[in-house]
Structures are given as structure tokens and as C-alpha cells.
Chains A and B, each alone.
Chain A
């Protein structure tokens, strides 16, 4: 290779290349506009998908992940169910007693002082 390369004017080459971009066919220019529009549309769609996935991600964070968390969640759920069942049973007993009082069908044991 020749050590002493002839000098070229980079500025002039850059200027001519920039000029060449102004001489593109209309069809190519419209295809490029279309490509830009598609890219922008895809960005909007991507942002939307990202925000939906963020909601999903937060909901996922609330779910238990480890065994300990699952056991604790099960105990809490069982305690809630037992409390609800007890409350429902007590309400049912009171309801039965009220009916008995109203119909004068109370058993004799209820009047005995224990």
C-alpha cells in the first residue's frame, strides 16, 4: 500500500452525499415516511403493552411466592373461614331461640336456674 495517500476533501464528499439524499425517488421517500410512521405506531403499542404488563406485575407481587408465605396465607384464610362459620352458627342459634320464644315452645330446662 502506498504510504502517502492523496488528500481528499471530506467536507466536499459529505456535502455531495447530503445532496444525494435530496435526489431520492419519490417512491423511496414515501416508503421511508411509511417506515417512520410504522416505528412510531409500534412505539405507542409497546408503551401500552408495557403499562398493562406493569399492572399485571403489581398484581403478581401481591401473590405469595415462598412456602412460608403460602402457609401463612392458608392459616389466615382458614381463620377467616372458621370465624365466619362461628358467626353464622351463632346467628342461626339466636334465630331458632327467637322462633321458640314466639311460638311458646321453649323447653322446661330454660326456665330452671342453673
Chain B
């Protein structure tokens, strides 16, 4: 991170502007990772509060990078907690009847999402919506680190060093994750018949 001594600290208005600018994109990041709208909203709120409380007085230029790092860490924390909760539920469900084993699986939701976008119409707006849905579905099934790297690098426009900072890993790892994400995404979109080359 560049030194913040010479930079002007963010005002309340700048922080407010930043949050309103980033909120929708942050929500999308969280939805891709959590597969659930309510959990995604919780994650975004947690990340915003952490940024405002701990780094709200940092220079305005540093806020995007800090926010992405906080958001990625918050997503990871929620995933870990969800995993622990699921493992406890599985443990207890072993004592219950066999029917109780049918629990929530994110892949089921993904399959439903594909079915919803099946009917195609000539309408351009609908076609675009369908393409977006297919891209989002392809992104959701990417491994978490590959998706993070891809979104930060190509959607948020961060360079390799900034992405590495936001993800808390090396630049080499970012390059590897991006390359694999590119390959997987291209394959998934090709399989769906989406041409974005």
C-alpha cells in the first residue's frame, strides 16, 4: 500500500459517496460467493461497518483497495462460519431419520437458475439479461479464489499488485488464479453457447 502521510484524509461526505458508489458491486461480489441474497446483504453491511469504523478516516484513494480486502475477508469469515454450522447440522442429522438428509445444496439453486433462463426470445433486452444470468452462473461455480481474482482484476480493474493486496496473496497466485478462471469461464460459457470472444 502506498504511504498515506501526504494524502488528504477522507471526509464524511467522501466516505458516503464511496459507499453509495460501491454498494451494488459489493453486493454482487457477495452474492457470487454466498449464493444467498440475505447473507450477501449481511456481508456487505458488515464490510461497510468495518471500513467506516476502522478505516473511515483514511485517504479517499485508499478506500477501494481497503474495502475490497475487508469484503473478501468478511466473505471468507461467513463461509467458514457457514461450513462449521453445516458440519454441526450434518452431525445432528445423522441421529435423525433418512429424509432429513436432504439439505440445502448451492448446486441445486444453480441448476434452477439455469432452467429459469432457458426460454429464449428475440427481444434484445431479454437476450442480454439471459447472457448476464449465464455469466453469473458460470462465475458462481468457479472456485472462490479464482472468482475473486477474476472479478477484482477484470471487473474492478485492479492491477496484479492491488489484487494480491486485496486477496492477501502473492502476485504469482493472482496470475495463476486469473489464468485458471479465464480458462474455466471460457469453457463454461462455450458450453452454454455464449460467445464473448
B16 to chain A, nearest CB (A): 6
Contact, CB under 8 Å: B155 / A39: no
User: Could you say which interface size class chain B belongs to?
Assistant: 35 or more
Is B20 on the interface with A (CB-CB < 8 A)?
A: yes
B131 interface neighbour in A16, A33, A36, A47, Cβ under 8 Å = A16
In the complex, are the beta carbons of A40 and B19 less than 8 A apart? yes
Q: Which of A9, A20, A42 contacts B136 (CB under 8 A)?
A: A20
A12 to B: closest C-beta gap in Å? 5
Tell me whether chain A's interface is mostly helix, strand or loop, or mixed: helix
Other-chain contact of B41, A13, A20, A32, A44 (Cβ < 8 Å): A32
A-chain residues with CB within 8 Å of residue B182 when the two chains form the complex: 5, 8
Q: Is A35's CB under 8 angstroms from B52's CB?
A: no
Given contacts A7-B186, A28-B37, A31-B41, contact A43 B23 (CB under 8 A): no
User: How far apart sit A46 and B56, CA to CA, in the bound complex (Å)?
Assistant: 10
Please count the residue pairs between chain A and chain B whose beta carbons lie under 8 angstroms apart in the complex: 109
**Residue B15 at the chain A interface, CB threshold 8 Å:** yes
Q: Does residue A14 face the partner (Cβ distance < 8 Å to B)?
A: yes
Q: Which of B42-50, B82-90, B103-111, B112-120 contacts A (4 or more CB under 8 A)?
A: B42-50
B75 touches A (CB below 8 Å): no
Say if the beta carbon of B25 comes within 8 Å of chain A. yes
A43 to B18, CA, bound (A): 14
Chain A residues bordering chain B, tally (CB within 8 A): 35
Return chain B residues, CB-CB under 8 Å to A13.
Answer: 135, 154-155, 185, 196
| Binary CB contact string for chain B from 129 to 142 against chain A (1 if under 8 A, 0 otherwise) | 10110011000000
A39 CA to B45 CA, complexed, in Å: 7
Q: Would you give 22 A-B contacts (Cβ < 8 Å), ordered by A? A: A1-B183, A2-B187, A5-B187, A6-B187, A7-B186, A7-B197, A8-B185, A13-B135, A13-B185, A21-B28, A22-B24, A28-B27, A28-B41, A36-B20, A38-B45, A38-B49, A39-B45, A39-B53, A40-B12, A40-B16, A44-B12, A46-B56
